Chain A
Amino acid sequence: MNSWLTHHTQALKLVIARFQQNLFSNLFIALTIAVSLALPMIVYLVLSSFSGLVSTIKSDSHLSLFLKQDATPTMIDSIHNTLATREGLKQFHFISKEDALKQLMIDNNNQDIMSTLTENPLPDAFFIEPASLDSAAIQQLKEDLSQLDGIETVQVDDAWLKRLGYLLVLGKKAIFILALLLGFALFTVIGNTIRMQILTQQEEIEVSQLIGATHSFIRRPFLYSGAIYGLIGALLALIITSIVIWLFNLSVSTLAAEYQTDFSLHLPNFNVFLITCITAISIGLISAYIAVSKSLFKSIN
C-alpha cells in the first residue's frame, strides 16, 4: 500500500515537473483540447437555453376561435359539433367568457383594471390543437372555421414554437455528432502528444526496462500525463465557454428586454462541468494507454 502510494506520487511529481519544463507548448496543447471541448459545450448551452424558453412559453393551442359577443348557446353547440366531427384536429377545448374572466381575476396585477369594468369584455373561445403542423392545412382550417356562424376571428398562434422545438431536437442531434467528432480529434491530439513524449524519453524507458522497471511503472507517468491534459483542457474549456456565453448575454439581454423577457443564455452548471471533466480525463487516459502500449515494449522480451 505504502509503496503503491510512493509510486503514484512519484509519477505525478515527475509529470508535473515535465509539464512545467515545457509550460508554453503544453499550455498550447491544453488550449487545443479546450477548444475541442468548448465548442460542443457552447452549442449545448445555447440550445438548452432555447429549449428552456420553448417549454416555458409553449401552450397547447395553435388556433384560437373567438366568438362574437352575442353568440348564443345554440351557436356554441353547433360549433362544438362541427369541431367534434371535423378531421385534422388533435384536440380542442372550450373556455366560456365567464371562465376567462375568472382566470384573469386570479392574476393580481389585473384586479385594478377588472374593478373598473362594468361588463365582461371577453368573448367565448375555442382552443384547437391541429393534428398537423403543415401551414397549408392550418390555413385551410382557419378559412373553414371562419365561415362558421357566430365566429368573430380565428387566430393562428404558436405553430412556429413547435417548429422551433423540432429544430432544437435536430440541433441536439447535431451536438451529439459534433461532440463525437471532436472527441475523436481529442483522442488523436492527446495520443500524438503522448507518442511525442515517449519518443523524447525513449532512452530512459529502455534503461528502466533493462534494470527492472515493470510495465506499469513505465506506463504510469504517461497515463497521468494524458489525464492531466484532459483535466487542464476541461478547466480551460470551462473558462472559454463562460467568457463566450457572457459575451453573448451582453447582446442577448438587450434583445430580450425589447421583448419584455429576461431571457439569457445559461452559464455552464456543475453537471455540465463534471461531465466535461470526466469525458476529457477518460479520453486522455484511454488515448495515453493505447499510445504507450503501441509504442513501448517492443525493444525487450
Chain B
Amino acid sequence: MIVLDNVTKRYPGSQEALSNASFSIEQGEMVYVTGHSGAGKSTLLKLVAAIERPSNGTVLINNQNVSKLRESALPYIRRKFGLVFQDHKLLYDRNCYHNVALPLAINGITGADAAKRIRAALDKVGLLHKEKVMPITLSGGEQQRLAIARAVVSRPSILIADEPTGNLDKNYAGDILNLFGAFQQVGVTVIIATHDALGTTNQAHKILHLDHGRLTSQQVTADE
C-alpha cells in the first residue's frame, strides 16, 4: 500500500537527506525505521506521510503518486495517516479533550459523534480521567500517550511515530511500544522511527535501517 521507488530527497542548501531508497510496506505491517540521528529517518517518514514530496523517484500511497498530485489534494492524503511527532506538537492552550478533537474538526466531525470518539481514544491510551487537564501538567509519558490518542482518533489505517520513546524511561517506553503493538494487531499499519536499540515487541516486524541517508538493510523478523 506504500511503495517508495528509488526515492531521493534533497533539501535546498544541504546534502541528500535520503538517497535512492526503495521499499514497500503492506497493510497491517509493523515497521521500524532505525539509524543514528541524522540518518534520514524523519525525512523518510515525512515522505511516507505526504508531508514532503520527493526530489526524485516515486512515492505511491494506495496507488496514488504523491509527486503527481495537485497540492490541494495532499491534505486529503495526509488524513489517512495518524502522526505522532518527535516533539509531540501538542497544543498547550487547550485541554486534553480539545487536543484530541483537532483531527476530527479537520474532518468536519463534531458534536456527540466526535465526543464518543475522543473519549474512546483517550480511554485507549489510559487518559480518560484527564480529559479536562491541560497538557502542560502531564508527564512526558502521558504527553506521548495524548499525542497517540490524537493520532488514532480519526481511525487512520496507517500510524506513523517519530521517536515515540526518545525521552522516556524504559518502563514507559515498553508501555508505549505495547500500545502501538495493540493497534497493529487490529490491522493498522504501524511505522516507528527509533534511534536506540529496540526494546522491541515480540511481534513480527520489518526493520528498515538507514545510514547517512542510505537504506542499508531491510530485514523481516517473524513471530517468535
Chain B residues contacting A204 (CB-CB under 8 Å) are 91, 93, 102
Q: For the complex, what is the distance from the CA of A210 to the CA of B49, rounded to whole Å?
A: 9
The contact of B89 among A3, A210, A214, A301, by CB within 8 Å, is: A210
Within the complex, what minimum Cβ distance (angstroms) separates B66 from chain A?
A: 11
Assess whether A210 is in contact with B105, with CB atoms less than 8 Å apart.
no
Q: For the complex, what is the distance from the CA of A67 to the CA of B197, rounded to whole Å?
A: 119
Is A153's CB within 8 Å of the partner chain B?
no
With A215-B72, A300-B51 given, is the CB distance from A203 to B106 under 8 Å?
Answer: no
Q: For the complex, what is the distance from the CA of A6 to the CA of B110, rounded to whole Å?
A: 8
The contact of A213 among B72, B85, B106, by CB within 8 Å, is: B106
Is A57's CB within 8 Å of the partner chain B?
no
Name the segment of B11-19, B73-81, B201-209 touching the other chain.
B73-81
Is A208's CB within 8 Å of the partner chain B?
yes
Q: For the complex, what is the distance from the CA of A243 to the CA of B88, rounded to whole Å?
A: 53
Q: For the complex, what is the distance from the CA of A255 to the CA of B75, rounded to whole Å?
A: 67
Within the complex, what minimum Cβ distance (angstroms) separates A55 from chain B?
A: 56
Chain B residues contacting A3 (CB-CB under 8 Å) are 108
Assess whether B51 is in contact with A203, with CB atoms less than 8 Å apart.
no
Within the complex, what minimum Cβ distance (angstroms) separates A202 from chain B?
A: 11
Assess whether B76 is in contact with A212, with CB atoms less than 8 Å apart.
yes
Is B191's CB within 8 Å of the partner chain A?
no
> Residues of B within 8 Å of A, CB-based: how many?
23
Q: For the complex, what is the distance from the CA of A300 to the CA of B71, rounded to whole Å?
A: 11
Q: For the complex, what is the distance from the CA of A287 to the CA of B6, rounded to whole Å?
A: 45
Chain B residues contacting A211 (CB-CB under 8 Å) are 78-79, 81, 83, 102-103, 106
> Residues of A within 8 Å of B, CB-based: how many?
19
Chain B residues contacting A210 (CB-CB under 8 Å) are 51, 78, 83, 85, 89
Is A162's CB within 8 Å of the partner chain B?
no
Q: Which of A200-241 contact B (CB under 8 A)?
A: 203-204, 206-215, 217
Is A68's CB within 8 Å of the partner chain B?
no
Assess whether B105 is in contact with A10, with CB atoms less than 8 Å apart.
yes
Chain A residues contacting B71 (CB-CB under 8 Å) are 301
The contact of B106 among A206, A212, A300, by CB within 8 Å, is: A212
Chain A residues contacting B83 (CB-CB under 8 Å) are 210-211
Within the complex, what minimum Cβ distance (angstroms) separates A262 from chain B?
A: 57
With A207-B89, A210-B89 given, is the CB distance from A6 to B108 under 8 Å?
Answer: yes
With A10-B110, A207-B89, A300-B51 given, is the CB distance from A214 to B72 under 8 Å?
Answer: yes
Chain A residue with minimal CB distance to B50? Answer: A212
Q: For the complex, what is the distance from the CA of A3 to the CA of B83, rounded to whole Å?
A: 24
Assess whether B78 is in contact with A207, with CB atoms less than 8 Å apart.
no
Proximity bits, A28-72, B CB within 8 Å = 1, else 0: 000000000000000000000000000000000000000000000
The contact of B75 among A7, A10, A206, A214, by CB within 8 Å, is: A214
Q: For the complex, what is the distance from the CA of A6 to the CA of B106, rounded to whole Å?
A: 11
Among A203, A206, A214, the most chain B Cβ lie within 10 Å of the Cβ of A214
Q: For the complex, what is the distance from the CA of A215 to the CA of B79, rounded to whole Å?
A: 14
Q: For the complex, what is the distance from the CA of A212 to the CA of B89, rounded to whole Å?
A: 15
Assess whether A212 is in contact with B78, with CB atoms less than 8 Å apart.
yes
Q: Which of A270-301 contact B (CB under 8 A)?
A: 300-301
Proximity bits, B33-54, A CB within 8 Å = 1, else 0: 0000000000000000001010
Chain A residues contacting B102 (CB-CB under 8 Å) are 204, 207-208, 211
Q: For the complex, what is the distance from the CA of A301 to the CA of B77, rounded to whole Å?
A: 14
Within the complex, what minimum Cβ distance (angstroms) separates B10 from chain A?
A: 16
Within the complex, what minimum Cβ distance (angstroms) separates A155 from chain B?
A: 77
Among B76, B102, B105, B110, the most chain A Cβ lie within 10 Å of the Cβ of B105
With A207-B91, A212-B79 given, is the CB distance from A217 to B106 under 8 Å?
Answer: yes
Chain B residues contacting A207 (CB-CB under 8 Å) are 89, 91, 102
Assess whether B110 is in contact with A206, with CB atoms less than 8 Å apart.
no
Proximity bits, B98-122, A CB within 8 Å = 1, else 0: 0000110111101000000000000
Chain B residue with minimal CB distance to A209? Answer: B75
Chain A residue with minimal CB distance to B103? Answer: A211
Chain A residue with minimal CB distance to B109? Answer: A6
Q: For the complex, what is the distance from the CA of A6 to the CA of B114, rounded to whole Å?
A: 12
Interface CB pairs A-B, < 8 A, 20: A6-B108, A6-B110, A10-B105, A10-B108, A207-B89, A207-B91, A207-B102, A209-B75, A210-B51, A210-B85, A210-B89, A211-B78, A211-B83, A212-B75, A212-B103, A213-B75, A213-B106, A215-B72, A217-B75, A217-B106
A-binding residues in B (CB < 8 A): 51, 53, 71-72, 74-79, 81, 83, 85, 89, 91, 93, 102-103, 105-108, 110
Interface pairs A-B: 3 shortest CB-CB: A212-B78, A212-B79, A3-B108
